[in-house]
Amino acid sequence: MARVAVTGVGVVTGAVTGGREQIRAFLASSGAPALSVPSSALGGLIDETEARRLSRICQLSVAAARIALADAGLGPGAGLGLVIGAEFGDLRSTIAFVDGYLHRGPGGLSALLFPNTVMNTMAAATAIAVTARELSLTLNAPTVAGELAIARAAAAVRAGRADAVLAGGVDEFDSALAELLAEGGAPSERRGEGAGFVLLESLDSAEARGARVLGEIAGVAWRALRARPYGVGRGAASRAVAAALDEAGATSGEVGRVWVSASGDGPRDRWEQAILEEALRPARPPQTALASRAGRHAGLGALAVAAAALDEVSRGPAVVHAIARGGTHVALVVRRAPVE
């Protein structure tokens, strides 16, 4: 089985946009939360034709993918796959498409908007933009979509099913979505928007081409815990963290930090704490929640993996951890690259 190297990262968020150096500066700084992505963040990453043709969420995805490829020193094309997670898809385009029908009947349906109503529209637009012709997979889940996409992509690279994979997620947030969630009784939490990708390759391939290895995804696991749909479970026992640590050849006592998915959803955040206490006891490594600065969205999985690889303070491997209402549970073990 191949070892999985992280050779590039690209994020477009309200709090930070860029590759490893911009993320390093972000982690070393402190600032007020920034939940929305300014239009200026896409400057130079999206050309005029794409700005007219692509929806905003697709622009976020394409921009982050291009940053990750540039950060990895890898061009588009050859052997490149794509795994992308999202919670809501292109909801803004979907609402506009439905509104056209509700206001004007069948004549109001837009052929231009219709392709954006399917959940894999971001993957399609991004694959075309970066010429990713291999594995293409879209995963839809609340909270954990980005982490799950990276875990699935790492498993594909480890098994030799793909040479290189862009993996991460994207979500867009607007007032219409906030109103829909509130009307549906969704819990209050700090939501944001943005996109983030890591580029995963086999370690042998990365070293052969002289890539600047950022870190290694040494173990991954995902499980389903018992919970009602969009509910919080009562049990804290889960094999995901233990399975990821076992694959990485690490123990709970070696974990230097846990990058958690806490986002202000009290019941879910407390469930996550109970799961981690059960999985890592008696160790209690420090925890960091990136949603406090960037808001919760599917792009945070890539940002968390990069943060774990760039963490020069904590000793030992890091765990990137996420749990969703409904019970989808993801754990990744990330090791920093050796200092040259």
Q: How confident is the model over 66-101, as pLDDT tens digits? A: 999 999 999 877 689 999 999 989 988 998 899 999
Quote the Cα angle for 230-234-235, to 5°: 115
Residue 1: band (very low, low, confident or very high) from pLDDT cuts 50, 70, 90: confident
Query: What DSSP letter does each residue of 209-275 carry, written as one string?
Result: TT----EEEEEEEEEE----TT---S----SHHHHHHHHHT--GGG--EEEE---S-HHHHHHHHHH
> What is the pTM assigned to this prediction?
0.95
The rounded distance, in Å, linking the Cα atoms of 290 and 322 is: 12
4-208 and 218-336 in the same fold: yes
The rounded distance, in Å, linking the Cα atoms of 313 and 329 is: 27
Domain range annotation of the chain: 4-208, 218-336
The rounded distance, in Å, linking the Cα atoms of 218 and 202 is: 11
Q: Mean pLDDT score of the chain, rounded to an integer?
A: 93
> Residue 79 to residues 102, 163, 223, 285: CA-CA distances in angstroms?
44, 6, 29, 38
Nearest alpha-carbon partner for 188 in 261, 264, 260, 292: 264
SS3 for 143?
coil
Please say if the pLDDT value at position 339 is more than 60.
Answer: no
Percentage, residues of the chain above pLDDT 90 = 79
The rounded distance, in Å, linking the Cα atoms of 116 and 102 is: 18
Strands 164-171 and 318-323, how do they pair? Answer: unpaired
pLDDT value of residue 340: 47
> Residue 208 to residues 163, 188, 201, 225, 337: CA-CA distances in angstroms?
13, 48, 11, 40, 16
Q: 238 and 273 in contact (C-beta within 8 Å)?
A: no
Please give the average per-residue pLDDT across 308-330, as a whole number: 95
pLDDT value of residue 177: 74
More confident residue, 112 or 123: 123
Quote the Cα angle for 100-102-104, to 5°: 60
Strands 318-323 and 257-260, how do they pair? Answer: parallel
Q: What are phi and psi of 189, to 5 degrees?
A: -155, 170
Q: 177 and 45 in contact (C-beta within 8 Å)?
A: no
Please give the average per-residue pLDDT across 294-307, as a whole number: 97
39-43, 100-104, 112-116, 199-203 — most confident range: 199-203
Please say if the pLDDT value at position 218 is more than 90.
Answer: yes
pLDDT value of residue 78: 66
Please say if the pLDDT value at position 202 is more than 90.
Answer: yes
What tens digit of pLDDT does each residue of 42-68 get? 989 999 999 999 999 999 999 999 999
Superfamily for domain range 218-336:
Thiolase/Chalcone synthase (3.40.47.10)
Tokens in use for 293?
Answer: 């600065």
CATH label, 4-208, candidates 3.40.50.450, 3.40.47.10, 3.30.70.980, 3.40.190.10: 3.40.47.10
Which class for 54: exposed (0-12), middle (13-18), buried (19 or more C-beta within 10 A)? buried
Please say if the pLDDT value at position 20 is more than 80.
Answer: yes
pLDDT value of residue 173: 84
Please give the average per-residue pLDDT across 217-224, as a whole number: 97
Name the β-bridge partners of 289. Answer: 260
